[in-house]
Structure 1
Amino acid sequence: MSDLRPPSPDARPVGFDGLPLRDPAPPPSATYPRESASRALVRASATEAAQMRRIRARLTLASVGFGVLFLAVAAKLTDATVLSPAASRIAQAPRLPPPEPPVSRAAITDRNGEILAVTVRGTALYARPGEIDNPAQVADRLIRILPHLDRARLIPRLSPPRQFAYIDRFITPRQQQAINDLGILGLYFETAERRTYPRGRDAAHVLGAVDVDGEGIAGVEKWYDERLRVSPASLRLSIDIRIQRELREALDFAIERFSAIGGSAILMDVNTAEVLGMVSLPDFAASDLATAPAEQRFNRAVTGNYEPGSTFKLFTAAMALDSGNVTLSSGYDATRPIRIGRFQINDFHGKHRWLSVPEIIAYSSNLGSAHMAMAQGITRHREFLGRLGLTSRLGVELAEAATPIVPSARRWRDINTMTIGFGQGISVTPLHIVTGVSALANGGILRQPTVLAVPHGQEREGVRVISERTSENMRRLMRIAVTDGSARSADSPGYFVGGKTGTAQKVGDRGQYLENRRISSFVGAFPMNAPRYALHILVDDPKGRADTGGYATAGYVAAPAARRVVERSAPILGLVPETERIAQIQQSIALQLGGGRPGASAAAARQPTAAPRAPTAAPTPAPAPRLPAVMPRTLPTVEPQPAPLRRTDATDGVAMPRLVLHVPSTQPPETGRATR
């Protein structure tokens, strides 16, 4: 073993020439045979060669696999970045469906946000008649789905030479599917809009309506047409839909009970002149304006001009008191009729004596009111009515608002001042009356009425028309007309209602006054110790009932309706009846019929401070008894034969009604006070 030596450094490498490895010459001292070593080296070389071939095969396979993989990745990247680039899911937010475009007309709400009018999207059905083979058959098939269509009118719309015709401007999805299932060539659909009024008849006259093209044609829809088209913000009205409902129910009850032909009711905030409710009956559903009869479309509250009757005596008294030469202790002669030519003015069941200002209002004296107006003169009378807005159109946002009918300045004479002093010879709308009374009650500030909501706390501009002192006295006069006059049935405990009734005779088409045809109305405010709201009720042509003795005057018709409105609306408006302080509050606003505050001397109360125009001297009346602080609830006193009324839905320029003499009543004689 010690003779074995390693190969020489200069020896040729084993297998270098590619030939089979040869065993080196064994050393001389080798003890194993040469042939055995040679076979061992050959076996080792064969094993390594096999392993090398397997390694090369695996490397080749791996290279091909990785090549295919890289080619696939390259192809995918090329497609994703060059051929079909895709947006990054990380860089972009998820896509949402595009929003629908806004409707073309903004919504209308009441003051509390209740939806009164809104535009909704739908589908319209139209036809191209040139593509329809059998119009009659198509019409029959459409009517089965749309039964409201008129076959006689539909067939011509489906027939040539028409090129285009709307069949229905708004159909439901179910109707659209049914029509589509018919498979009729020539019928098409398009997106449409429709104005809907969820409250139906509520506030229909205020809202008005739009035509088939979505343009306003009446009411607020017409007045604010451009605003509703341009601004997407809802239009907020001053109307309170709850008050609207109460007004309608009370008025409808009075109309049905007395078999009247219609009426109106208005509730107004005296401090802002916001119209909280406005009703005219008969009415209509706003969506059916186009098909509603003219009588239903007529808005008695702002379009109907009526002679106001005795309610106008409040303005005559306000004019006299504000002049400074008349006080509550002043009085006028009512002993005999006023004769003008062949005509005369008289009181129905008059007192035939001197009457104080409170008595003129409480007893509704025509004579006293005529003298009171004449004492102020024609010029001041006309100027005062103009200052109160009673001779011009009001600025309310309703296109239907009418202009009063009054004599021109050139034709305004003594007779006009006398008759207008007690509500005859002038025609105004109910909105004029309630707006003027609001100014009398709120401290003397006249504000234009509005149906648009005023932001809370914002004060509206106004014009002073009477002094605060005059306003205070007018509140007492209105209160005594309820506690001692024909409006007793309007009183509601704790709400201290004040106001005046009026029963005006209706006028025929030829200007003649109609027997037993009348307008019964009430105007007032509450609570009179701190007025918040004014109210006007008008009932057109009521008929007498057995339980009212055959009478249908305002004390029986309009005043009870006013009480119902007050008692139902006041809690909604946040007013609580002052039942615990009735006597105290009543004392603070009470008047004696003889004139002056309770406790004033009767002698002072009977002294007039303004000389009447009548030449006769006023007799000294007996002292009026002092009234209790709270009047007992009794039936209203019967009103006298009413002053005539002209309803001016006739053409302008019609001559003013003649001065009517006292017409003997066909009704049974009354007992007690005769008032309007």
Structure 2
Amino acid sequence: MAITMAAFAAIFCIIGARLVFYGSSTPHAPDALARPVGAARPDIIDRNGTILATDLRMASLYAEPRRIVDANEAVEKLAGVLPELDYEQTYHKLRSGSGFIWLKRQLTPRQQQDVLALGIPGIGFRPEIKRFYPGGVQASHVLGLTNIDNVGLSGMEKWIDDQGLVDLRGAGLGGSGAFQPVQLSIDARVQHVVHDELSRAMERYKATAAGGVILNVKTGEVMAMVSLPDYDPNNPFNALEKDRLNRMSAGTAEMGSTIKTFTTAMAMEIGGAGISTMFDASAPIIVGRQRVRDAHGKGRPLSLEEVFLFSSNIGSAKEAMMVGVERHREFLERMGLLSRMTTELPEVARPVQPKIWKQATSITAAFGHGFATTPLQTAVGIAAILNRGKLVPATFVRRSEEQASALAQTVVSEETSRSMRYLYRLNGIKGSGRRANIKGFRVGGKTGTAEKVIAGRYAKNHNFNVFAAAFPMNDPQFVVLVVVDDPRPERSGMGITAASNAAPVAGAIIERTAAMLGVRPDFTDDTQLTVNSLR
């Protein structure tokens, strides 16, 4: 009896000692389970250092079914904390007898704490990295998103991977904290304003979609870009839905009368026309079975200035006819409207154009019909025409004026650029851009109202509206391009053209962001505008 009692006492002493040892020591996990799932990524910051995307360390729940004592009890306990778990599927996993299974990836700290309190043997946590976007939906189409393993799927996240991050991971390099932040050209404050104003516009005009971009004319930097509807990259359950497309760079559309910016510049640059050159707009032009008319025709010859100010389709067609079909197409190609734009963002669409350009193609293209391009590259082309003829490629990362100057290509002369700045400002004062003319910032602009193509035909009362603005027009610093897709009248009696919706939205954006962008107001009177006053 004494020997038996001594043996049991010794056994319990050993067990007690081991329990004390385990309780006082730091748990040691196997290396495979100690390493975080998903490799680290560099932070993404805006031009002012605000974090737009960063890594967070999370815990993911796993099980070792071979160590599960009672699968049914384990599932019941887990379901109380994680009701989203599929009961039957989880039960079969725990009964499988395998060595390792995932139960739920990326738990919140509260969920982890509650699961720990259950005290289920054979259940554990593995550290994991989750990408987090503090701004939520604000810049989703620019930033893109990652998958559950922290690999870039779209947007600038994918671009970062394509710059060598994937290769570093493959070589086992690039742990947490090993990367410098990637600084974008985006200004988070300006991005917020654009997103806010476009969201209001969609509600106010009951539009199908909306979009906007602010482009630095001198550097080509994209200061803000929004496409609505969008998605939350922190919870991208609807990111692949068709209406979540990035319309600004990955969607093409006929840009309507904003294209007259290029037609008018072409008439001056190639056709030798001047501000006072006359074009006969007294009668419609017959193109096949169609007639090219003016929405508000004057029934008389118009000067080039009037063609632009009154947005005459007939006058624009005559400008294109002055130049000729081939030179018209070559000019649009030179302006970057007919080829796929090159920039960091992977989601960039290829413009759509006829395989063979004929006279009818050139005539309709003169006023923005017959070919489709992206809003972003339209903004880039307009910036080039207003920026003394220097075309600077768009970029989503920081770029200095010196770097931009090395990339710039001359597409029109300074004289043509000066005349176009005059016409833009004139249209902002007297024409369709009046509702975007914010005092002190000398805003110029051009509207574009294009009927949407539905089931292969142009649909009445269904418009794709665009307004391209620039400011200040004496020396443009920024181009703002706003899109409102298929709007309804704001109230009874109001129209659905770009002047009624896209223009005031652009004006509201300029009014709220000009100070953020560093543009100082100038309240001197410039209504007595001349071409020479913009030298």
**TM-score of the alignment, normalized to the shorter chain, above 0.5:** yes
Aligned counterpart for 2:462 among listed residues 491, 511, 517? 517
SS at match of 1:546: coil
SS at match of 1:564: helix
Aligned counterpart for 2:80 among listed residues 122, 144, 149? 144
Q: Shift of residue 457 of structure 1?
A: 5.8
1:117-146, CA deviations, whole angstroms, 9 ceiling, x for partnerless residues?
Answer: 001212211123344455454333223223
1:329-367, CA deviations, whole angstroms, 9 ceiling, x for partnerless residues?
Answer: 112111111113322111123111101111111111111
| Whole-angstrom distance in 2 between the partners of 1:478 and 1:152 | 66
Provide closer, same or farther for how the CA distance between residues 109 and 575 of structure 1 changes in structure 2, counting only shifts above 3 A: same
1:326-365 alignment, distance < 5 Å: 326-365=273-312
Q: Shift of residue 322 of structure 1?
A: 0.8
Q: Shift of residue 466 of structure 1?
A: 0.5
| Whole-angstrom distance in 2 between the partners of 1:214 and 1:413 | 50
Q: Contact 1:479–1:590 (CA<8 Å) still a contact in 2?
A: no
Q: Shift of residue 388 of structure 1?
A: 0.8
Provide closer, same or farther for how the CA distance between residues 473 and 166 of structure 1 changes in structure 2, counting only shifts above 3 A: same
Counterpart position of 2:60: 124
1:226-241 alignment, distance < 5 Å: 226-227=162-163, 229=165, 230=168, 232-241=179-188
Aligned counterpart for 1:311 among listed residues 236, 258, 277? 258
SS at match of 1:168: strand
The sequence identity of aligned pairs, in percent, is 40
- TM-score scaled to structure 1, two decimals? 0.69
| Whole-angstrom distance in 1 between the partners of 2:388 and 2:432 | 25
Counterpart position of 2:20: none
Aligned counterpart for 2:504 among listed residues 550, 557, 560? 560
**Which residue identity is paired with 1:119?**
D
SS at match of 1:216: coil
1:461-513, CA deviations, whole angstroms, 9 ceiling, x for partnerless residues?
Answer: 111100111111110111112222112101011111111001111111x3112
Counterpart position of 2:202: 255
1:583-602, CA deviations, whole angstroms, 9 ceiling, x for partnerless residues?
Answer: 2x443x446xxxxx79xxxx
Q: Contact 2:228–2:244 (CA<8 Å) still a contact in 1?
A: no
Q: Shift of residue 165 of structure 1?
A: 2.6
1:573-592 alignment, distance < 5 Å: 573-579=517-523, 581=524, 583=525, 585-587=526-528, 589-590=529-530
Counterpart position of 1:194: 130
Provide closer, same or farther for how the CA distance between residues 221 and 339 of structure 1 changes in structure 2, counting only shifts above 3 A: same
Aligned counterpart for 1:507 among listed residues 453, 458, 472? 453
**Which residue identity is paired with 1:178?**
D
1:407-446 alignment, distance < 5 Å: 407-408=354-355, 411-446=356-391
1:162-181 alignment, distance < 5 Å: 164-181=100-117
| Whole-angstrom distance in 2 between the partners of 1:486 and 1:309 | 14
Counterpart position of 2:437: 491
Matched, 1:105 2:33: no
| Whole-angstrom distance in 2 between the partners of 1:291 and 1:324 | 49
1:350-499 alignment, distance < 5 Å: 350-408=297-355, 411-455=356-400, 458-460=403-405, 461-499=407-445
Provide closer, same or farther for how the CA distance between residues 132 and 258 of structure 1 changes in structure 2, counting only shifts above 3 A: same
Paired residue total: 487
| Whole-angstrom distance in 1 between the partners of 2:498 and 2:244 | 25
Indicate the structure (1 or 2) with the bigger Cα radius of gyration: 1
Q: Shift of residue 111 of structure 1?
A: 0.4
Provide closer, same or farther for how the CA distance between residues 179 and 316 of structure 1 changes in structure 2, counting only shifts above 3 A: same
Q: Contact 1:205–1:299 (CA<8 Å) still a contact in 2?
A: yes
Higher helix share: 2
| Whole-angstrom distance in 2 between the partners of 1:242 and 1:449 | 20
Q: Contact 1:265–1:279 (CA<8 Å) still a contact in 2?
A: yes
Provide closer, same or farther for how the CA distance between residues 158 and 471 of structure 1 changes in structure 2, counting only shifts above 3 A: farther
Q: Shift of residue 227 of structure 1?
A: 4.2
Provide closer, same or farther for how the CA distance between residues 325 and 171 of structure 1 changes in structure 2, counting only shifts above 3 A: same
| Whole-angstrom distance in 1 between the partners of 2:245 and 2:439 | 35
1:566-587, CA deviations, whole angstroms, 9 ceiling, x for partnerless residues?
Answer: 11100111222111x1x2x443
Aligned counterpart for 2:514 among listed residues 570, 590, 596? 570
| Whole-angstrom distance in 2 between the partners of 1:480 and 1:380 | 28
Q: Contact 1:500–1:523 (CA<8 Å) still a contact in 2?
A: yes
Provide closer, same or farther for how the CA distance between residues 191 and 384 of structure 1 changes in structure 2, counting only shifts above 3 A: same
Matched, 1:223 2:167: no
| Whole-angstrom distance in 2 between the partners of 1:159 and 1:512 | 60
**Structure 1 runs not aligned, ≥5 long:** 1-99, 592-596, 599-676
**Which residue identity is paired with 2:341?**
L
SS at match of 1:575: coil
| Whole-angstrom distance in 1 between the partners of 2:91 and 2:450 | 53
RMSD: 2.3
SS at match of 1:124: strand
| Whole-angstrom distance in 1 between the partners of 2:364 and 2:121 | 72
SS at match of 2:58: strand
**Which residue identity is paired with 2:217?**
V
1:564-643 alignment, distance < 5 Å: 564-579=508-523, 581=524, 583=525, 585-587=526-528, 589-590=529-530
Counterpart position of 1:160: 96
Provide closer, same or farther for how the CA distance between residues 555 and 124 of structure 1 changes in structure 2, counting only shifts above 3 A: same
